[in-house]
Amino acid sequence: MKSTGITRKVDDLGRVVLPIELRRNLGIGIGDTLEIFTDKEMIVLRRYNAVDDLLTMAVRLKDRVVVEDCGEMKPVLLDKLSEVEKLLMSEVDKY
């Protein structure tokens, strides 16, 4: 992580303005959703990408189907989940 040397004050509503230079460099536009994480004493902001979340969920479901007893539906479920995973991977590659 590199320091920008930029500081901002928190206003009375708890808001912080992200400098336009940072928004431009990171491709953050008006109305974009940011994900907020904490790491010890740091606050980390990241552009939210719903496709990544969906991909993670698809992989977890696929792993669960492999372990669970789904009877005759197991091959069908695994096939459909593989299709969803491929579709989501192609969307992730667009970013």
The residue among 5 and 75 whose pLDDT is bigger is: 5
Average pLDDT, the chain: 82
Are residues 43 and 1 part of one domain? yes
Residue finishing a domain among 26, 48, 70: 48
Cα–Cα dist 25/69, whole Å: 48
CA distance 74 to 58: 15
Tokens of 22: 């940072």
Pairwise pLDDT comparison (11 vs 3), residue with the higher score: 11
Per-residue pLDDT reduced to its tens digit, 34-62: 989 999 999 999 887 777 777 777 777 77
pLDDT for the residue numbered 67: 58
How many separate domains does the chain show?
2
pTM flag (> 0.85): no
- Residue 88 structural domain: 50-94
